[in-house]
Chains A and B, each alone.
Chain A
């Protein structure tokens, strides 16, 4: 009936980012006339491996994997080889050589770079505040051990290691979720009174929103404008406009169109780059131009059906 079967293994469906990621993936391939099946690994690497085995035994023409993590999915390229199925990996990477065997391409985000961008903005702000790069920061992280958390940490460290007077004085695992982000912030605010710290870095905008509730509730308004996030969600961007968050990096969840393009090109015999980075954009509120861009971005996202009204 259709042009062929495309199977997609999704890491989890725990946040809006993943939901959009799945929706767009499905839409892209279905509109192009393919049959589309997918499985949700619920953030469990062992389950994701089993999902991939199950999907491959249906002999799809293409397997798209959005890995939970790098290491535990090491067997995937070999499995694709054995099943004689094309493989495209999106978002996070897998061990092995994209562009060899059945693995056509890796379409990814550079998470280390995300960490670097956040850290550089923090250095800039602190330097502005004190006239020299110094200050104390708190860090509310995503799930301990998750690969973006680790990579972004690497990025942060790369930058902060250059400034001996900038220090991360407290860390808490906010598990990428809003409520836990709030609890973490509440506790950290108890540990550090007014004047003890300059700002807080959050591993995503959702946790930043939870942290913002804690800040309002505890009357720690001195921290408004000294929050960093990641993802560039509508609410996050709104917080940038409101001056609560100072900076966020957008990580777009849309890989389907790109994966389709890459696959069809490869099928047509064209050369495709084995590793491709999706563009990302930083959002800041220092200048009017930046503010304008944030407003625009909010509208763009709304047009895509994300965020509201």
Chain B
């Protein structure tokens, strides 16, 4: 480009701050945490605990990122997660079958239970997408309603009782260690890498950013906007289903009321991670960093034996401070 109005920006300190401000902030946090905990925080053992604890929210965050990039939101992810975990556990275990108070779910064996649960999860996401995109009802409302509905369905399906005896697969999966780290963490990180690649290197990924930024212009540029928006919801549903599997593999247990506090935690993580509510902005990497940050914070407070009463208050102030600081650094 031969252009007089363009001046090189190397002299400008802002891009540097923009680039390194956040990592510096995170590094600062890690140092602080290590100091405060007398080194316990940084122990490999503890780090692997944090990763494990992050895996469920982490997977949910990956799913919701797709939807949020399109400018939507999914408040039904936890509902989908729980229902699919219930299906995996109930339809996949004969022992569990005998325990269900309602006999709505048939026994189909572990493999087909898994498949069925994931298909149902994807279908529910698809339904969210179709209702909100085709009928133009804000996804906030559609998925809020879907979440309510699924809570009811979970109660109906189980008659209220929890899943205690899922197929052994989950327990084995949850306890298998590779290089000292449990399998669910690999599932989480693997999914993150896969989705990062999808967003960066596929037609769908590039289009998601476009339509999140300006759906109308994207439509006029030939991007199949509606199809991709619905696809984003479907992926989110499917991913929530995967989270259901991880949930089951953590304690071999799921109840219709499980995961009550995961929704706000997921949204907090994703927004702290820089994914914009209005669409078109944000990344998987940011979202995953958001999750790890919040999990580390909660782990740190537990290690420091901070009273559960004020943990929420402290993390509230921490989030406010961190975001304010990173905003300052960026502008």
The residues of A with any CB-CB pair to B shorter than 8 Å are: 12-16, 18-19, 22-23, 141, 144, 169-173, 175, 177-184, 186-188, 190-191, 206, 209-210, 213, 216-218, 235, 305, 307-309
Contacts and interface: CB of A to CB of B under 8 A. Distances in A.
B185 to A, nearest CB: 12
A191 B302 contact: yes
A16 B251 contact: no
A223 to B, nearest CB: 16
Contact of A172 (B160, B175, B250, B302): B302
Interface centre among B95, B101, B155, B257 (most CB of A within 10 A): B257
Interface centre among B49, B95, B251 (most CB of A within 10 A): B251
Given A190-B45, A190-B46, A235-B164, A14 B257 contact: yes
A177 B260 CA distance: 10
A187 B40 CA distance: 10
Given A23-B101, A179-B253, A191 B40 contact: yes
Contacts, number: 110
Contact of A308 (B164, B175, B261, B304): B164
A252 to B, nearest CB: 16
Contacts of A235: 164
B307 A171 contact: yes
B259 interface: yes
Contacts of A187: 49, 298-299, 302-303
Interface in B169-195: 174-175, 182
A216 to B, nearest CB: 7
A179 B170 CA distance: 14
Contacts of B161: 16, 19
A206 B254 CA distance: 11
A217 B308 contact: no
Given A13-B257, A15-B257, A209-B251, A308 B160 contact: no
Interface of B: 37, 40, 43, 45-46, 49, 52-53, 56, 95-96, 98-99, 101, 155, 159-162, 164-165, 174-175, 182, 247, 250-253, 255-261, 298-299, 302-305, 307-309, 311
22 contacts: A14-B257, A16-B161, A22-B160, A23-B160, A141-B308, A169-B305, A171-B307, A173-B308, A175-B260, A177-B260, A179-B247, A179-B259, A180-B261, A186-B49, A186-B52, A190-B45, A190-B46, A190-B49, A191-B302, A217-B52, A217-B174, A218-B45
B159 A19 contact: yes
Given A191-B303, A235-B164, A308 B99 contact: yes
A299 B273 CA distance: 51
Contact of B253 (A13, A14, A171, A178): A178
Given A187-B49, A191-B303, 4 more contacts: A16-B162, A144-B309, A173-B311, A217-B182
A19 B95 CA distance: 19
Contact of A170 (B174, B305, B311): B305
Q: Which 4 A-B pairs have the closest CB atoms?
A: A187-B302, A173-B308, A19-B160, A14-B257
A202 B304 CA distance: 19
Given A16-B162, A235-B164, A308-B165, A179 B95 contact: no
Contact of A13 (B40, B53, B160, B298): B160
Contacts of B259: 179
A144 B104 CA distance: 35
Contacts of A144: 308-309
B303 A308 contact: no
Contacts of B162: 15-16
B160 A191 contact: no
A184 B46 CA distance: 13
